[in-house]
Amino acid sequence: MRDGLVQFEAEIQSLNQIRSRVICAESNSPWIEGRLEDLMVHFTYASWMAYNLGYILSIALSSKEEDMGQRVSEMMTRMISSMGAIQLAEIRLTPKAMEELKRDRLEP
């Protein structure tokens, strides 16, 4: 993992079946499985960690259902904006592209 970056990853199967983790140079958290509420708590933790370290927050969401992934992405975008984020970017990946990204170990 690149210094200066906190990465938040989430795999969304349904609103009741989500797993997420936080990765950064200092520490990696295990996958946490839960519901949408658990995702938001974990996301808040990742945001707070990035803020305290002065790092960039990178978010990688994957979902087999585009509508569900889009709704969660919009909710997280609103949350980031309310925290005072200055710059946002969104990149959509298909599950195949996400696997290629992980396999090739490209960094955002």
Task: Read off φ and ψ for residue 71, nearest 5 degrees.
Answer: -65, -45
CA gap 44, 80 in Å, rounded: 9
User: Which pLDDT tens digit goes with each residue over 58-102?
Assistant: 888 888 887 887 888 888 878 777 776 655 555 556 677 667 767
Please count the CA atoms within 13 angstroms of the CA of 11 that sit on its side-chain side: 8
Q: What is the pTM of this model?
A: 0.71
User: Which pLDDT tens digit goes with each residue over 32-67?
Assistant: 999 999 999 999 888 888 888 888 888 888 888 878
Average pLDDT over residues 13-23: 91
- Give the per-residue pLDDT at 106: 45
